[in-house]
Chain A
Amino acid sequence: MPSDLISAYLADLRRRLPAGITEEIADGLATGCEHRRALGQGEDEAARATIAEFGDARSLAAEFTRHAPGRRAARFLLASGPAVGACWGAALIAARAWTWSVPPAARLAFGAVLLLAVMCLAGAATSQHSYRRTRLAGPGGIALIAADMAMITAVLTVAPAVTWVLTIAITASLTRIGLAARLAPRVLAL
């Protein structure tokens, strides 16, 4: 039976961290208390010392957040933005993409998906204390894959010819899709 101090500490952690991590910490706290009780400390004294050993809930949650797979994946995918964007920018200008027949609704939908991807990834990448926010990397990655696939499909459907500049941009997007798909299981698992 955990002491009230341990229960309150775990309740605070549960608000900040996923259940799996909290359960692992709960076992560590219980083990720490047992060690101290075996050395003759009282229940509250053992609980206080063990909590002090783990650090306050906010700092512990921040440390987990700093190492969260979603945060690192989001930073990686965001960092790919300028390079892939530059490839597409050069390719679309060279191909005079403004002359293509693309419905305004499709352009708008593409812009919305891309904006959603950037917002989700930026939210996950900049999270300092909220582990939950790092999970935005999941929908952000999916939106980015959707935007890349939409771009490739649009070019292959609408462009009069696939030039070498367009081929480079398509390759850049395919590479990013592969990386995002590879990162997805880690992000969604934790």
Chain B
Amino acid sequence: MKAEAQLLKGHLDTLLLATLDAGPLHGYAVMEALRQAGGSRLDLPTGTIYPALRRLESAGLLDGNWSVVGGRKRRTYSLTAAGRRKLSGDRAAWREFATTVTSILEATPCPAT
């Protein structure tokens, strides 16, 4: 796995919640959406996404529902109220963190005295 992907995996829960913010999706569609949004930098194995969706459902952050599409049973996930609150908190925390790190990395060095 690439270094960026490893780093992003640490934020997998938030990425999954953000992907589902636009509306309900099934597991494979979640993975496709993540790939499209992250491009080649985000190469998460599918095998990590399905168990993570179940884990988030078990934690009450996602709601999973079965439907029948094209004769196949399909499980679709959507955000719960708790999931929306978690996503909102994660977004605020990430923005604050990114702002702090950016301000340090892009700071103009002080002139030597």
Q: Chain A residues in contact with chain B, CB under 8 A? A: 20-21, 23-28, 30-32, 35, 53-55, 59-60, 63-64, 66-67, 69, 186, 190
Contact = CB atoms under 8 A, between A and B. Distances in A.
A67 B72 contact: no
A59 B58 CA distance: 21
A51 to B, nearest CB: 10
A171 to B, nearest CB: 27
A60 B50 CA distance: 9
Contacts, number: 62
A156 B65 CA distance: 46
B50 A190 contact: no
> Which 3 A/B pairs are nearest by Cβ-Cβ distance?
A55-B47, A67-B55, A28-B28
A59 B50 CA distance: 12
Contact of A27 (B31, B54, B58, B72): B72
A5 to B, nearest CB: 16
Interface residues of B, number: 21
A24 B46 contact: no
B51 A63 contact: yes
A64 B72 contact: no
A35 B32 CA distance: 11
B72 to A, nearest CB: 5
Interface string B67-100: 0010011110000000000000000000000000
Q: What is the predominant secondary structure among interface residues of chain A facing chain B? A: helix
B46 A53 contact: yes
Nearest to B71: A30
A28 B29 CA distance: 9
A54 B58 contact: no
Interface string B28-65: 11011000000000000111101110110010000000
A114 B31 CA distance: 44
Contacts of A190: 54, 58
A60 B28 contact: no
Contact of A24 (B32, B45, B52, B75): B75
24 contacts: A21-B50, A23-B73, A23-B75, A24-B27, A24-B73, A24-B74, A26-B72, A27-B27, A27-B73, A27-B75, A28-B46, A28-B50, A35-B32, A54-B45, A55-B46, A59-B47, A60-B47, A60-B51, A64-B51, A64-B54, A67-B51, A67-B58, A190-B54, A190-B58
Contacts of B48: 63
B58 A63 contact: no
